[in-house]
Chains A and B, each alone.
Chain A
Amino acid sequence: MNIQLHIDADHVATLTFDRAGSTANVFDRPTLEELDGHLAALESHAGLRGVVFISAKDKIFIAGADLHAFVSSPDPDALAGIIDLGHRVFTRLSRLPVPTVAAIHGACLGGGCELALACDWRVATDGKATKIGLPETQLGILPAWGGSVRLPRLIGLPAALGLILTGKQLAAVPARKVGLVDDIAHPEYLADAARALLARGKRPPPSFRPLHLPLIRDLVAAKARRDVLAKTHGHYPAPLKALEVCTAALGQPVDMALALEKAAFLELIRTPECASLLNIFFQQDRAKKLSVPAGTARPVRKVAVVGAGVMGAGIAQWTSARGLPVVLRDVAPDALAKGLRTIETVYREAAKRRVFTPAEATAGMDRITPAHAPVPLGDVDLVVEAAVEKLDAKRAIFADLERRVRADTVLATNTSALSIDAIAQNLAHPGRVIGLHFFNPVHRMQLVEIVRGPRTDDDTVATTLAFAHRLGKLPVIVKDSPGFLVNRVLLPGLVEAVRLVAAGHSVAAIDQALLDFGLPMGPLRLADEVGLDVALHVANDLAARLPHLPGPDPLLAKMVADGHLGKKSGRGFYDHAAHQPINLGLPPPAPADYVDRIVLVQVNEAARCLAEQVAASADDLDFAMILGTGWAPFRGGPLRYADSVGLPEIVRHLEALAASDGAHFAPCDYLKTTSAFHSASSRGVASDARSTLSPP
């Protein structure tokens, strides 16, 4: 029983979605069949005046289709069957002789949105939980229960493409602006507002006569196509397919249009891009619900952040934005002023994008108390240290913190390189020290690495994990080893790119090759963004602690010594004033396959991480690389990419490179002895989660 039917004395039927044993409503086959049964009953109900669709859940109207149904039935016939079922039920709904209205509070996504589109009217609440959209293209598919057909007919092709091709989710006010909903109500008055809409009767289809004329339609489609390609570099087939279907479907009767939609879906669901994107989605879901077997999470009500640099300020901003009071500690008022300015900028921009009202942004900033002198920390439950990356300095800070905080306060460090255990060395309670490694910029990067030291205790891990969840971050638990996970896999590729430049290869060609491969940014541009001094420091540090890694080419040290630090100094591998890559003026070497060199050293390092259990699983590793570095999501991460190429093939390439270019390419033993990183079964889905559509 997922849907309750109630018909009141006025002969108005209310179908309430309330999935048993869950906080979410989703569409799976049984729910669709149940809905079908109710609709059949309503068709024959004499005197019926209208139907209201509503949810009994707090934050969710209908969150979408149960994706597991798609992934667990790779059989095309079964997939076609579930698409047909959705089409039949929603078409049946749209053809009810009485007016229908979707009363939307909470997430109304994917199939939920498609149900709403099949109704005559839609009313949404102004609550924060309410968001309406069709995020399917972000998962490598397209809206296939009528969304690609009905949305353009309701709000016009340009607006519909703006939603479908980006997966954008709208709150009530913008949804009303584009015509996706007809009215806005407070949650308390939602049912009344829905009834008021019923009184308007069946809705005549709106006309987009000039807009949908073939010529104009084609212009709109061409523009949308250019926008998609600019964004995806052609790596993602789903938006292009959706564009094609939305446009073609306009000129056709609904039944034929739905057939187009179905064919496109069946094509997309078989693509490797879709498999990768769905897997990322499941991994996100898993990270959101990640728990540890032992340990009790203590509540975190107040936080202290030590260090007001870029990372400290970012962590303080994000923590305060999530409603927690933060003491921001640094030694000098000027350092605090700089950090507070960074924080203000993030808040101001968020307010500009309407993420916060101005009052909320002010309240967020007010929750941060700067402290340039030591203050009592007895009421602080968790400290995040983000001070200078020097072991002695961190040890001194932790020794001081330990004297100031309660015995059960978690002491976390945001170090990206230093050993957690070394930091905890001389403390009375080393068990409460843990790594909590955020990525820059903190307000944009969802990943955090939780680094468990050998002495870190269970309660500390559980508390930190719960804190990461409270912050809305996606945690991955990694081992206390040099570079942890993300930097360790990322850096060798960067070092390799520098080596290629030193050998005379073109900066632009290297970066372009990796962009074409699907990285969000070429490795040399990334080095400039990070700062060459930082890159040099991390690369040297890693090479010192991991003997198999070559140190960075002397070119990097020379550039740093010359003051070329990348973007912050205006010059690195690029001249940032002239927007030009630098040219070392070396004789051009023989052409080389940059992707092979740079990506395969990363794959090799990823394999080592897996062998050393730095990450618990190949899924964790791929997920962390995608979220932490934007590593080609459609390829599913370095290990999934390696699987797709075939490990023997990878080993062959690496061995050839080791012979021609240097011993550091030599494949590690784990790579040579493993047949695939992901087991065949896990390549579909490895998750117990009830996953619902929401974009990555």
Chain B
Amino acid sequence: MNNTPVYIVDGLRTPFCKMGTDLAASDAVDLARTAAAALLARTGLDPALIDEIIFGCVGQPIDAVNLSRVIALRAGVPAHVPAMTVHRNCASGFESLTTAADRIAAGRGDIYLVGGTESMSHYPLLYNDGAVKKFTHLAKAKTPLQKLAAFARFRPRDFSPRISLHLGLTDPVCGLNMGQTAENLARDFLISRDAQDAFALRSHQRATAARDRLADEITPAYPRGTGAAVTLDNGVRENQTPDALAKLRPFFDRHGGTVTAGNASQVTDGGCALLVMSEAGLRRTGITPLGRLVGHAYAGCEPSRMGLGPVHAIARAEQSTGLKLADAELIELNEAFAVQVLACQAAARSADYAKKHFGRETPLGEIPDEILNVNGGAVALGHPVGATGARLVLTALKELPRRRARRALVTLCIGGGQGGALWLEAAS
């Protein structure tokens, strides 16, 4: 990696709202457009100066397959500015940023509008394969009699849909859904239900305490057709209690499982936009940046234990940047599952894990609770999968100056068995 500095100039996100609630009327494009247009308005940047628009989205909408282009045009970016969409599952928001960083490092441009978006409310229901065949047959039928015959072949079961949200959250290689991979970690590291619930409770408490701080990164959304202004993350339970969490039944493993809807991240709608520039870009626009992307790494791991991806990415980032866990003054580690964060902490401090997986003699180090997800995480705020990566970057960069801290590590696990880790630095 060369040393071209990459600056994150500013960012905004929509509120994060539980699937089917306040933002359900907006699709993934609307959400990202809201954030992007507000960001352009707030920075006063002339959108004609942007070199490329890069957004990430996991469940890319079929009516806007290159959704970045649609976001760009609908946010008032002139037609001459190109746009591409990236996908790295839950790290798609990261990927939009690191792609721009790579472009800047390669000298291909100076100003990028990036981000991530997800409308989990809009994940479609799909016809099953049997029904699809029958529909094809029906379409080929010519005479009324043939059509009638084609119709007659349909059965009630043909209309029971495949739920794309479930399909998307299932690893087709190991055959496990994400919750089941989390249960693997609970067993591997012997992390109790109580420990997970306690972690979840803390996430809600921290997010509640951080309301005002988080408001700083939020722009209101005005979903069309509702007449409402949505200004708050609505997944945060300000009165969450240990009892309420303890009452929930395990969701993925009914018999002896530990992962519940309460100690897993929420299924959420939201969009986030970041403005990224090279040094030349900063000079041209005269805007003061929030901070700098120092380095990043992605790393693969066992798909059935995808929740440990951050540990692998942190190790790999250490190789390229020389930065160790101990260098972080602030850590955002996405809370896909409470157990998965706890497992990452355990794996990071484990010499065995370090030796077995990275061939090193010393563990990666501590992920201290005091600097970890200090404003709450996806258990409370929700995890709109494509948007989360960008949200973590934004939250961390806004938090650094508040604690007069310099360096943040932002990392998340990625379905399919990967991790991503970014090292950020506050603007000096």
B193: Cβ under 8 A from any A Cβ: no
Flag B26-62 by CB within 8 Å of A: 1 or 0 each.
Answer: 0000000100011011111010000000000000000
Which chain B positions have C-beta within 8 A of A341? 226-227
Q: Is the CB of B41 within 8 A of A337?
A: no
Bound-complex Cα distance A286 to B41 (A):
38
Bound-complex Cα distance A344 to B30 (A):
15
A661: Cβ under 8 A from any B Cβ: no
Shortest CB distance B255–A (Å): 47
Which chain A positions have C-beta within 8 A of B229? 332-334, 336-337
Bound-complex Cα distance A366 to B40 (A):
13
Flag B213-235 by CB within 8 Å of A: 1 or 0 each.
Answer: 00000001010111111010000
Q: Give which listed residue, A327, A344, A366, contacts B74 with CB less than 8 A.
A: A366
Q: Is the CB of B44 within 8 A of A376?
A: yes
Flag A356-370 by CB within 8 Å of B: 1 or 0 each.
Answer: 000000110111011
Q: Is the CB of B41 within 8 A of A338?
A: no
A379: Cβ under 8 A from any B Cβ: yes
Shortest CB distance B258–A (Å): 40
Q: Is the CB of A367 within 8 A of B76?
A: yes
Q: Is the CB of B76 within 8 A of A344?
A: no
A215: Cβ under 8 A from any B Cβ: no
Chain B residue total in the interface (Cβ 8 A): 21
B336: Cβ under 8 A from any A Cβ: no
Known: A325-B76, A366-B74. A336 touches B41 (CB 8 A): no
Shortest CB distance A365–B (Å): 7
Which chain B positions have C-beta within 8 A of A369? 37-38, 40-41, 76
A233: Cβ under 8 A from any B Cβ: no
Which chain A positions have C-beta within 8 A of B40? 369
Bound-complex Cα distance A373 to B76 (A):
19
Which chain A positions have C-beta within 8 A of B225? 344
Flag B326-346 by CB within 8 Å of A: 1 or 0 each.
Answer: 000000000000000000000
Bound-complex Cα distance A337 to B75 (A):
18
Which chain A positions have C-beta within 8 A of B220? 333, 336-337, 370, 372
Bound-complex Cα distance A340 to B74 (A):
16
Q: Is the CB of B222 within 8 A of A366?
A: no
Q: How many A-B residue pairs have CB under 8 A?
A: 56
A454: Cβ under 8 A from any B Cβ: no
Q: Is the CB of A379 within 8 A of B222?
A: no
Q: Is the CB of A379 within 8 A of B44?
A: yes
Q: Give which listed residue, B42, B43, B222, contacts A337 with CB less than 8 A.
A: B222
Which partner residue on chain B sits nearest A302 by CB separation? B76
Q: Is the CB of A370 within 8 A of B76?
A: no
Which chain B positions have C-beta within 8 A of A327? 41
Bound-complex Cα distance A363 to B225 (A):
15
Shortest CB distance A475–B (Å): 28
Which partner residue on chain B sits nearest A374 by CB separation? B42
Flag A39-51 by CB within 8 Å of B: 1 or 0 each.
Answer: 0000000000000
Q: Give which listed residue, A325, A332, A370, A375, contacts B222 with CB less than 8 A.
A: A370
Q: Is the CB of B76 within 8 A of A340?
A: no
Q: Is the CB of A366 within 8 A of B33?
A: yes
Residue of B38, B46, B225 most packed against chain A (CB within 10 A): B38
Known: A333-B229, A334-B229. A371 touches B41 (CB 8 A): yes
Which chain B positions have C-beta within 8 A of A372? 220
A378: Cβ under 8 A from any B Cβ: yes
Q: Is the CB of B44 within 8 A of A378?
A: yes
Bound-complex Cα distance A366 to B220 (A):
15
Which chain A positions have C-beta within 8 A of B224? 340, 344, 365
Known: A366-B33, A369-B41. A337 touches B227 (CB 8 A): yes
Which chain A positions have C-beta within 8 A of B46? 379
Q: Give which listed residue, B33, B37, B43, B222, contacts A340 with CB less than 8 A.
A: B222
Q: Is the CB of B44 within 8 A of A333?
A: no
Which chain A positions have C-beta within 8 A of B76? 325, 366-367, 369
Residue of B33, B38, B229 most packed against chain A (CB within 10 A): B229
Shortest CB distance A667–B (Å): 50
Bound-complex Cα distance A508 to B270 (A):
55
Which chain A positions have C-beta within 8 A of B38? 369, 371
Which partner residue on chain B sits nearest A334 by CB separation? B229
Bound-complex Cα distance A363 to B33 (A):
12
Shortest CB distance B404–A (Å): 25
Which chain B positions have C-beta within 8 A of A373? 42
Which partner residue on chain B sits nearest A337 by CB separation? B229
Bound-complex Cα distance A327 to B226 (A):
21
Known: A333-B220, A366-B75, A370-B220. A375 touches B44 (CB 8 A): yes
Bound-complex Cα distance A232 to B38 (A):
49
Shortest CB distance A7–B (Å): 44
Bound-complex Cα distance A365 to B30 (A):
12
Shortest CB distance B218–A (Å): 10
Flag A374-417 by CB within 8 Å of B: 1 or 0 each.
Answer: 01101100000000000000000000000000000000000000
Which chain B positions have C-beta within 8 A of A333? 220, 222, 229, 231
Q: Is the CB of A338 within 8 A of B33?
A: no
Q: Is the CB of B44 within 8 A of A337?
A: no
Bound-complex Cα distance A38 to B38 (A):
62
Which chain B positions have C-beta within 8 A of A370? 220, 222
Which partner residue on chain A sits nearest B37 by CB separation? A369
Which partner residue on chain A sits nearest B45 by CB separation? A376
Shortest CB distance B161–A (Å): 26
Report 14 cross-chain contacts, Cβ distance below 8 Å, ordered by A residue: A332-B229, A333-B220, A337-B220, A337-B227, A340-B224, A341-B226, A344-B225, A365-B224, A367-B76, A369-B40, A369-B41, A370-B222, A373-B42, A375-B42
Q: 4 closest Cβ contacts across the A-B interface?
A: A376-B44, A333-B229, A341-B227, A337-B229
Known contacts A366-B37, A371-B38, A376-B43; 19 additional CB pairs below 8 A are A327-B41, A336-B222, A337-B220, A337-B227, A337-B228, A338-B227, A340-B222, A340-B227, A344-B224, A344-B225, A344-B227, A366-B74, A369-B37, A369-B40, A369-B76, A371-B41, A375-B41, A375-B44, A379-B44
- Chain B residues with a Cβ under 8 A of chain A: 33, 37-38, 40-44, 46, 74-76, 220, 222, 224-229, 231
